[in-house]
Structures are given as C-alpha cells and as structure tokens.
Structure 1
Amino acid sequence: MSEKQTASADRIAELENQLLELQQKCAFLERVVHEVPANIYISDLEKGVIWCNKTNEETLGYSLDEILQMGALEYMYKIVHPDDHSIPTDSIQHYKSFDGAEYGGIFRAKHKHETNYKWFIGWAKVFNQDDEENVKELLCVDVDMSPRMNTEEQLVEALRENLKQKNRLLIRSLQKRELEVLDLVCKGHSTKAIASRLYISPNTVSTHRRNIQKKLGTANVADLVSVGKEAGLG
C-alpha cells in the first residue's frame, strides 16, 4: 500500500471513529431527554405542542401522534384543570408581545385515564424566532410537584409566589398614568385626593380605575389593592 493510500485509510478510520463517538453522544443525549423526570415539549404559538419527550407521554397518557392529531390548544385544554386554562393562554399572549422576560406558572393537569389532577410548575423559553424576531416556538419544561412537596406549607408558598408573578405580569399591562392611579389607590388615597395630586379631574380618576379593574380582572377596590400590593405598589 502506498503512502497516499495509507494516509487515506487512516483518515477514513479517523472519520469512522468520530462518527461512532457522535452517534454515542446523540444516543446518550436522547436517553437523557426522554428519561429526565420532567415533561419537556416544544410548543408552536399557532399550532400548539409539536414535540414532546417520553416522560410527557407517560405522565399525561397522550402519545405525540395523538397530540399532533388534536392540533392547536385542544390537547392543553384536555389535560389542564378548567380553572387553570388561563396559564397556556397567558403564556401565548406573553410571547406574542415578547420583551425578553421568560414565562412560568403553576397549574394542575391530569393523566388521560385519571380523574385526579396533580400540581405542576412549568417554565417556557423562546426556542425559535422568525426573521423579524417574532417568537414562533417555545421550549417548555413542566415538573410534577406532588412527589417533591414534603409539606402542605411548601405548596401554599409555591402557589403564593405564582400569584405574585401573575399579578406582576398583569400590572405590566397598565399604562403609566394607570400605574400612578393604582399606586395612589394602594396607598389609601381617595378619588378626590388622587385627582388633586395628578392634576386631573375626579371623573378621569374614576375612568382610570374602571379601566384598571377591567385589565386586572378585579371586582372591587379591595381586590384591586390586593393585586397592586402583591406587585409591589402602594
């Protein structure tokens, strides 16, 4: 064998070894992804879930093929508790006007063949964007908290923190003047006092308060103040 042939054979052997190492790494990473004790999935903002790991399939009872056949958010609404349907909806709205802050939340979900719901904590991160930097896909991770919560107090504290985060996101939807009005409401000022401080009419203050309550989904002043204080106002 000539020197050139020997070099060529060595190069082929080297490439074969590199390919084998790459295959082993891919197999290892694939095993990690599918065996990690968390539901991992990719969600398209328009189509819904387009990929998930095996843990997700086992935890919730739906195969990826079944999820894809459902389309859109039907799958999410089947597994998520009716009272928590706002979580996936809020996540989508958050990323449609993405400003750099990632999204997380606590919600209840159940297996396809079970009636009892379990508590999950989930995080989402931008996975793909289009040429105009609009978010197209999210990488999501949900962890079943039930076997990891040693006490009821831990769960209560987790839910309290989730409420704080949700209230902060709601507050961010307010305009500057609305924030000023809400801050003064949380400090206990009357409509007349707020009008005097901001140099606007009492009617304008009342209009701002109605708009604020509509955006925050509160039914009375007490709830309004509670949401504002949870977000750090007042």
Structure 2
Amino acid sequence: MSETQTTSTTTEKIAELEKQLLELRGKCDFLERIVHEVPANIYLSDLEQGLVWCNKTNEESLGYSLEEIREMGGLEYMYNIVHPDDHHIPDDSITHYQNFEGAEYGGVFRAKHRHEKEYKWFIGWAKAFSKNGADQVKELLCVDVDMSPRMNTDKQLVQALRDNLKHKNKLLIKCLRKREIEVLDLVCKGYNTKAIAEKLFISPNTVSTHRKHIQQKLGTANVADLVSLGKEAGLG
C-alpha cells in the first residue's frame, strides 16, 4: 500500500471515529436531558453515606443542590427533608438492604422543600444498584414521585392505595399463628367470643387470649380497627 493510500485510509478512519464520537455525545446529551427533566426525583443512595448523587428534579423539588447535600452529608440531608414521623422509612430501607434477599423496597413518605413549611407526599421505590467486595448491597438507585400535583386519575389512585393497603395488611397478618388467623377470620364475620369458642371447640377464655394477642401483634386499639384491618387483608 502506497503512502498516499495509507494516509487516505487513516483519514477515513479518523473521520469515522469522529462521526461515532459525535453520535455518542448526542446520545449522552439526550439521556442526560431525560434523567434531569423526568418528573421524578432520581438519586443514588449509599447505605452508609446516604444520598451521593441526584438529578436536577430532586434539587428543584427539595431545594438542596447536590453540592450542598454532599457538604451536609447524605444521611443528615434525608432526615432534614423527611417528616419526623417518617424517619423510619429511610432507616427501614437501609435495614432491608443490609439483609437483602432479592425483594426490592418501596414506600410512601412526606418530605418538604427547604424553604417551605408544608410537607408533600411522595411514593418511592429503590433498587439494589451496586455491591461491595463481600457481595453485599452498597448503593441503591431510588425514584421518588411527588403525589401532590393534581391527579387526572383519582379513581385509579384510590384503588391503587386500597390495593397497596390490602397487600400490606396481608403481610402484617402473616405474623399471626394459624389459630389466631382462624379467630380473626371469625371476628371479621361477626362471631362473638362464645360463638367462636363453639365453632373452634375451645374455651371462651382461650378465644379472649387469642384476641388479645392478635390486637397486640397488629397494633389495633379496638375491635372496629381489628375488623377493618382483617377485612382489608381479605378475611371475613
């Protein structure tokens, strides 16, 4: 191959590489725009450090720049924006992934912009994103959606919340023993203590003891709450 041909081939390869690089930059710019303009807070959370990266939507909706969050500390930032009554949500998420068994974590919580007094409701999901050398989850990819804007699907939202409550109550009831579930099912059907005892061939005192244990485990204050929770979980 002559020197002229070699130079021509090199020039063509350089031109092709420059074209590919230009296309790659265009794709990166496009994806970056999507990440920062999507109507959801997207962020990476380290199990030890808390939030370590976020998109612009997150910065705008909560009032903290990524630089300010890093300076403050990701965990401290989370406790600053999340409602005090919901601080257990990030804590539960960390605990969940410290004992990760494959099921991802999701929840509903309140958070507010740094310059606002009112809290807004968010629904969020997390996904194991990276692991350390011991094959333990190190970082989470999280997506939180602000539920405060006007919904155009009110009926669907109400049904979704009902379905979610039903699912959570089903999980809660799993903490009950088989006999306790049988008692709760009959309570939800309207049976009194005497009728339940006859139905299950146990003494009324035993039924009362079961009901007491059931309420303690489920955290209900009265029979009405107990029945409501049971029926939400599909009993009765």
Name the TM-score, length of structure 2 as normaliser.
0.75
Indicate the SS of the match to 2:30: helix
Question: Who wins on radius of gyration, i.e. which is larger?
Answer: 2
User: For 2:111, which of 109, 112, 116 is the aligned residue?
Assistant: 109
Change (3 A) 1:11 1:153: closer
How far off is 1:130 after superposition?
5.2
**Structure 2: gaps (5+ residues):** none
Match status 1:32 vs 2:34? yes
Q: Deviations over 1:151-200 (max 9, x none)?
A: 98777666545544443443345565654554444344556766777788
> Which one-letter code corresponds to 2:41 in the other structure?
N
Deviates more, 1:162-171 or 1:74-83: 162-171
CA distance in 2, matches of 1:46, 1:200: 51
2:47 pairs with one of 45, 48, 55: 45
Residue 8 of structure 2 aligns to which amino acid in structure 1?
Answer: T
Q: Which runs of 5+ in 1 are unaligned?
A: none
Residues 216-227 of structure 1 aligned to structure 2 (within 5 Å): 216-227=218-229
Partners of 2:63 and 2:114 within 8 A in 1? yes
Secondary structure of the residue that 1:40 maps to in structure 2? strand
Counterpart of 2:62 (choices 49, 60, 63) is 60
Offset of 1:3 from its aligned partner?
3.4
Distance 2:91 2:206 in 1: 32
Query: Structure 1 residue 139: deviation in Å?
Result: 1.9
Cα separation, 1, equivalents of 2:31 and 2:142:
17
Q: Give aligned-pair identity as a percent.
A: 73
Distance change in 2, residues 1:176/1:71 (3 Å) = farther
Between stretches 23-32 and 62-71, larger displacement belongs to 62-71
Q: Does 1:17 align with 2:19?
A: yes
Q: Secondary structure at the match of 2:234?
A: coil
Q: Which moved more, 1:89-98 or 1:204-213?
A: 204-213
Q: Which amino acid aligns with 1:38?
A: A
Q: Which sits farther off after the overlay, 6-15 or 170-179?
A: 170-179
Shift of 1:34: 0.9
Q: Answer yes or no: is the 8 Å Cα contact 1:106–1:162 preserved in 2.
A: no
May I ask how many residue pairs the two structures share in their alignment? 234
The superposition leaves residues 117-160 of structure 1 with CA deviations (integer Å, 9 ceiling, x where unpaired) of 22222222332345776543322212222223259877766654
In 2, Cα distance between equivalents of 1:105 and 1:162 = 10
Deviations 1:72-116 (A, max 9, x none): 643222212233334333434444444544433333221001111
Q: How does 1:144-159 map to 2 (within 5 A)?
A: 144-149=146-151
Alignment TM-score, normalising by the size of structure 1? 0.75
Q: Mean alpha-carbon deviation: is it higher for 36-45 or for 132-141?
A: 132-141
Structure 1 residues 111, 229: closer, same or farther in 2, change over 3 A? same
Matching of residues 127-146 of structure 1 within 5 Å:
127-129=129-131, 134-146=136-148
**CA-atom RMSD in angstroms:** 3.6
